[in-house]
Structure 1
Amino acid sequence: MVSNPVHGLPFLPGMSFTDPTKTAFHRSQTLGYRNGYAIAKRPTVGIGGDRLQINQLSQADVDDLANKAPVLTYGQPKQAPPASFIPAHVAFDKKVLKFNAYFQEDVPMSTEEHYRIRHVNIYYYLEDDSMSVIEPVVENSGIPQGKLIKRQRLPKNYQGDHYHWKDLNRGIDITIYGKTFHIVDCDRFTQVFLESQGIELNPPEKMALDPYTELRKQPLRKYVTPSDFDQLKQFLTFDKQVLRFYAIWDDTDSMFGECRAYVIHYYLMDDTVEIREVHERNNGRDPVPLLMNRQHMPKILAENAKNFPQCVLEISDQEVLEWYTAKDFIVGKPVTLLGRTFFIYDCDPFTRQYYKEKFGISDLPRIDVSKKEPPPVKQELPPYNGYGLIEDSAQNCFALIPKPPKRDVLKMLMNDNKVLRYLAALESPIPEDKDRRFVFSYFLATDTISIFEPPVRNSGIIGGKYLGRTKVVKPYSSVENPVYYGPSDFFIGAVIEVFGHRFIILDADDYVLKYMESNTAQFSPEALLSIQNHIHKRKTPAPDLESKQTEKDPGVQELEALIDTIQKQLKDHPCTGNIREAFQVHDKEASGYVDKETFFKICDSLNLPVDDSLIKELIRMCSRGEDTIDYYNFIRAFSN
């Protein structure tokens, strides 16, 4: 065997080289089988069968040597790796803080106890800062016990904070979901943990005891009920003899109270009392026959009978000063049984006979306790708010879901498509409104009015619909009983006020006259005459100027010359174009004449210069007698 010639040379940089005599470069087997399973095994030799350099140092020594490498040769040593991170659920797994606490609970429906002390254990889980409250089970307590609050993070305040183990200590109160728990002590592990965290614990306290539980631990007292009355004789004498009283319990003064009827039975054989309910058909109550079971009824209790266990034993003469007897039940008087006051209003014939023979009372009345129904409250409508029609607004007071008011269907069918149309002018002090004309349409089917203004070119006013179809209330009518405009209110010269605007009727169509003549009972004679005269005058052609000039009247030519002179002198008068309508309003019959008083009032309202010499001459020539003036020729002087 040839030895390795390079064996023993130092393995230093620059002095390592490949062994030329080495011919085997295979690796040792690292896998094997044991009992049919593939397992890994540690190789015993290296590549080519070379001896392995087995490290005899421990892992800690190897790490220490790695960190103590020479600084001058290899530089600064590497920093030690940081400690491994351990999560909270691993570090604090199964580490729970336990506190002993109690809370006080009110007992409102018991005569024996006013409050109750309940012991609980509060657990704080360090791994996720959750808490739970568990009440230990007490045998025969009659209270559902066990887990009161399941494990969860409990809120501390309304800002969203939760309870932490730093908030817990002995001798403090914590409020959880409205219940206040008083912590009195904790276990050994909790004490060591809190002290290790720098928390100074309060001294432990004693657990509060429940007074009723302590009272139950006392031995029961025995009671003896002596009796010297011959009960057998009473039983044999008054067997099957029962006094029957009819009573009511009036509880209407309390919330949801009512007046209910009852029957009180008094058994003469043993002086017991029972109260039966009187059920009516479909009264909605459970068919419970008895309100109070048959028993002896105490009237006056002794002073020392307050703590007597009435729910366990019967009350005897030792605790009662006076019992209810038959003389305490009188028709017409109230009687209080177990806190309820019953009013006795009647009894049966046997009871009346018994009271007559036993007590000498022969005039037991029968009292009428039926309550009379109060008179119906008259429904009053609230004040009108001014929006819409009052008939539509009133429907909101009659039903929760308002319905449209009923309409006269027969009237709507008979007057369908029947419309009365009128021409009107706007009475306004604004000069631009003098020449505006409006068409009034009165719909006979619904008694509604619509107003339309015909567009006038280059007038500066946009025409179109001025008012939609609606009922118009007359001025000075009351809000509670509004009066609407009807067909009889429209005639030549009538003033119609629509929501604060005044309109003067100037003209009407031929159908209006036809309708008024066929329904004369609905219209006044003056209104019918004004429409007839106006339409007749409109259809009759007016005489022209040339025919007037050919008349044989010698003053015609003088009148025409005077009118021409006035037109030239007053052609720019501001009232031009509105004088005719002003006179036609006062001329109801369309005769062309007005009285002098009305004439001068109109001239004064229109600011006409009646003091001028030419105007005075024109008025003189237009006068017809002493009282009337022909305004037709007068207004010609102010027209173009």
Structure 2
Amino acid sequence: MASNPVHGLPFLPGMSFKDSTVLKFDAYFQEDVPMSTEEHYRIRQVKIYYYLEDDSMSVIEPVVENSGIPQGKLIKRQRLAKNDRGDHYHWKDLNRGIDITIYGKTFRVVDCDRFTQVFLESQGIELNPPEKMALDPYTELRKQPLRKYVTPSDFDQLKQFLTFDKQVLRFYAIWDDTDSMFGECRTYIIHYYLMDDTVEIREVHERNNGRDPFPLLMNRQRVPKVLVKNAKNFPQCVLEISDQEVLEWYTAKDFLVGKSLTILGRTFFIYDCDPFTRQYYKEKFGISDLPRIDVSKKEPAPVKQESPIPEDKDRRFVFSYFLATDMISIFEPPVRNSGIIGGKYLGRTKVIKPYSSVENPVYYSPSDFFIGAVIEVFGHRFVILDTDDYVLKYMESNAAQYSPEALLSVQNHVRKREGPAPELENKQTEVDPGVQELEVLIDTIQKQLKDPPCKDNIREAFQIYDKEASGYVDKEMFFKVCDSLNLPVDDSLIKELIRMCSHGEDKIDYYNFVRAFSN
């Protein structure tokens, strides 16, 4: 008699079983997969449990991770009908290598555990030999290792991508189109992407340049360098260029500082690059002396302004300055047979001085008008040659508004225009122009000195060093005496007086110099 492997006692008919007495079978069923191109059917492995205490059964499917199929308890514990007559499955109906149908699903029982085998054999049931568990073909296919592809080492796009990802060569270039009508010189930045040999051109915009803010001149793309001759590209302006139409593409070695290259019909001149690009060319191509080319526009040399019309040289004009409104009017006296219609040249208006800004305009004032002054009116330059007597009186009464040189220029001109004094005309003597100019200068200095020093003290100081009583002293000694007497030698009029009193390079006439300090 067989014994119970659980309790160590022989199995007896009609004995009661505890909850732990369970028969376990391994089985599977086949499920059709109609809506998949990768699998036509699926094998689902299950375990069938038979509980001896109440002849109930349950079907459990082990959970497979990431299967996407609801798994676990397929049929809960219950007594299962085996036919339409109401009969239920009994443990005598179970064996290895048989098919059982439960709720329309056919399960193939392939094996059982050791306890189930001993129990069935002790009850006189002859067990069929065990079968191999069927495997799901799709699951087994996924367990196979991925196929490995080896690409040629000379050109590996994946390796190029992984090696040069996010590495970009940056070049600074200009497009000079100044030779054409309305052409100009514009600045661009060229990016060369090492990961896929594509090129991008970005336009550099300056503030208030009046252009639409389009950042890209050319989107990132491969750029052909040499095309196939007589290639039939219709329409070429729309279709993309294929590899069959290109003999050679632009590569990194084509972008060098100091070199010109044509892209999209424009010739770009590369004048500089960034530090990473310089290091890349040094390591890749052995080029370590990439230059930095100065392409900044230099200011043209100033052009001497000359009258382009010879007839304008002898034209004469009358300037009127209105003190009440600071306006200027210009009148041109008519000249017979000159071919120029005279009359009003400019009506009353304020005239802006050249080189003044529009935001802060500076207008001409009375202090800008003196003999020899150049007045620019709306691009035309006029030279002041003469004045009337009222101008001299106004300048002398408002001497603080004018520089000493401007006042002296008008005084000298008026005196020259009036001619020699009457007593000199009677004697029929001629006055040296230099002497006359010196007298005018001395007279001007005398009028401007508010607290003149004593003339006798100055003369005595110079006579101490003039042993020969020649009226001249050494220039170095002259300035020492002036410094000891605190004479204003830095004044512009005094400087002019010293120049006129100089005799050669080393001597100065102190007689005429002292005369200027008399009251």
With the length of structure 1 as denominator, give the TM-score of the two structures.
0.26
> What is the Cα deviation at residue 151 of structure 1?
94
Q: Against the structure 1 CA distance between its residues 590 and 372, is the aligned structure 2 distance closer, same or farther, given a 3 Å change threshold?
A: closer
TM superposition shift of 1:305: 1.6
Which of 560-569 and 504-513 deviates more? 560-569
Residues 524/457 of structure 1: CA separation in 2 closer, same or farther (3 Å cut):
same
> What is the distance in 1 between the residues matched to 2:107 and 2:331?
81
How far, CA to CA, are the matches of 2:274 and 2:191 in structure 1?
A: 11
Q: CA deviation at 1:241?
A: 0.6
Worse overlay, 312-321 or 464-473: 464-473
> Post-superposition shift, 1:362?
0.2
Q: Matched residue of 2:283: which SS?
A: helix
Return closer, same or farther for 1:549/1:479 CA change in 2, 3 Å cut-off: same
Cα 1:139–1:637 shift into 2, 3 Å: closer
Aligned residues of 1:533 and 1:590 also touching (Cα < 8 A): no
Unaligned runs of 5+ in 2: none
TM-score by length of 2: 0.31
Distance 1:270 1:555, change over 3 A: closer
Partner Cα separation in structure 1 for residue 158 and residue 15 of structure 2: 134
Task: Tell me, yes or no, if the aligned pair for 1:234 and 1:270 is still in contact at 8 Å.
Answer: yes
Q: Is the Cα–Cα contact under 8 Å of residues 199 and 222 in structure 2 kept in the other structure?
A: yes
> In the alignment, is the contact (CA less than 8 A) between 2:412 and 2:437 conserved in 1?
no
Look up the SS of the partner of 1:514 in the other structure: helix
Q: Which residue of 2 aligns with 1:3?
A: 3
The Cα shift of 1:475 comes to: 33
In structure 2, distance between residues paired with 1:149 and 1:589: 147
CA distance in 2, matches of 1:512, 1:306: 85
Distance 1:156 1:592, change over 3 A: farther
Deviations 1:27-49 (A, max 9, x none): xxxxxxxxxxxxxxxxxxxxxxx
* Offset of residue 594 of structure 1: 45
How many angstroms does 1:314 deviate by?
Answer: 2.8
Deviation above 4 Å: which 4+ runs of structure 1? Answer: 1-17, 93-229, 427-640
The 10-residue stretch of structure 1 (130-139 or 628-637) with the greater mean CA deviation from structure 2 = 130-139
The Cα of 1:258 is off from its aligned counterpart by 0.8
CA distance 1:513–1:171, change in 2 (3 Å)? farther
What is residue 74 of structure 1 aligned with on the other side? Answer: none
CA–CA distance in structure 1, aligned partners of residues 307 and 34 of structure 2? 80
Structure 1 residue 256 displacement after superposition: 1.0
Give 1:276-425 correspondences, 5 Å limit: 276-376=202-302
Superposed CA deviations along residues 567-620 of structure 1, whole A, max 9, x for unmatched, are: 999999999999999999999999999999999999999999999999999999
Q: Is the 8 A contact 1:440 1:449 kept in 2?
A: yes
Query: Contact between 1:593 and 1:631, CA under 8 Å: does it hold in 2?
Result: yes
Contact preservation (8 Å) 2:395, 2:407: yes
Q: Which moved more, 1:520-529 or 1:261-270?
A: 520-529
Task: Assess, with a 3 A threshold, how the Cα gap between structure 1 residues 136 and 359 changes in structure 2: closer, same or farther.
Answer: same
**TM-fit CA distance, 1:304:** 3.0
Contact 1:225 1:318 in 2 (8 A): no
Segment of structure 1 superposing worse, 131-140 or 265-274: 131-140
Q: Give 1:309 shift.
A: 3.8
| Counterparts in 2 of 1:284 and 1:120: CA distance versus 1, 3 Å | farther
Structure 1 CA distance, aligned partners of 2:268 and 2:34?
A: 25
Q: State the Cα distance separating 1:236 from its structure 2 match.
A: 1.1
Q: Is the 8 A contact 2:257 2:270 kept in 1?
A: yes
1:223/1:338 CA distance change after superposition, 3 Å = farther
In structure 2, the CA distance between the partners of 1:257 and 1:11, relative to structure 1 (3 Å rule), is same
Shift of 1:480: 34
Identity within the alignment, %: 90
Q: Secondary structure at the match of 2:293?
A: coil
| 1:349 to partner: Cα distance | 0.3
**Equivalent pair of 1:108/1:114 in contact (CA under 8 Å):** yes
Q: Is the 8 A contact 1:133 1:148 kept in 2?
A: yes
Q: 1:194 to 1:503 in 2, by over 3 A?
A: farther
Aligned residues: 515
- 1:528 to 1:2, Cα distance in 2 relative to 1, 3 A: closer
Identify which of structures 1 and 2 has the higher relative contact order when contacts are C-alpha pairs closer than 8 Å and 6+ apart: 2
Deviations 1:246-285 (A, max 9, x none): 0001111111111110000000111010100001111111
Q: What is the alpha-carbon distance in structure 2 between the residues aligned to residue 450 and residue 221 of structure 1? A: 97
In the alignment, the residues of structure 2 paired with residue 354 and residue 7 of structure 1 have an alpha-carbon distance, to the nearest angstrom, of 83
In the TM superposition, residue 356 of structure 1 has moved relative to its aligned partner by: 0.1
Q: CA deviation at 1:325?
A: 0.5
- CA deviation string 1:347-370 (max 9, x = no partner): 000000000000000011110000
Q: 1:150 to 1:111 in 2, by over 3 A?
A: same
Report deviation, 1:637. Answer: 52
Measure, in 1, the Cα distance between the counterparts of 2:163 and 2:76.
66
Counterpart CA distance in 2 for 1:223 and 1:2 is: 62
Per the TM alignment, residue 334 of structure 1 is displaced from its structure 2 partner at its CA by 0.8
Cα 1:161–1:227 change in 2 (3 A) is: farther
SS at match of 2:433: coil
Whether the aligned pair in 2 keeps the contact of 1:265 and 1:273 (CA below 8 Å) is yes
Cα distance change, pair 480–140 in 1 and its aligned pair in 2 (3 A): same
Residues 273-326 of structure 1, C-alpha deviation per residue, up to 9 Å, x if partnerless?
010000111111111010011111001100132434444543222111111000
Distance in 2 (alpha carbons) for counterparts of 1:221 and 1:186: 38
- Structure 2 residue 462 is matched with structure 1 residue 583: yes
Task: Please tell me whether the aligned partners of residues 246 and 264 of structure 1 are also in contact (alpha carbons under 8 angstroms).
Answer: yes
* Contact 2:474–2:508, Cα closer than 8 Å, also in 1: yes
CA contact 2:187–2:204 (8 Å) conserved in 1: yes
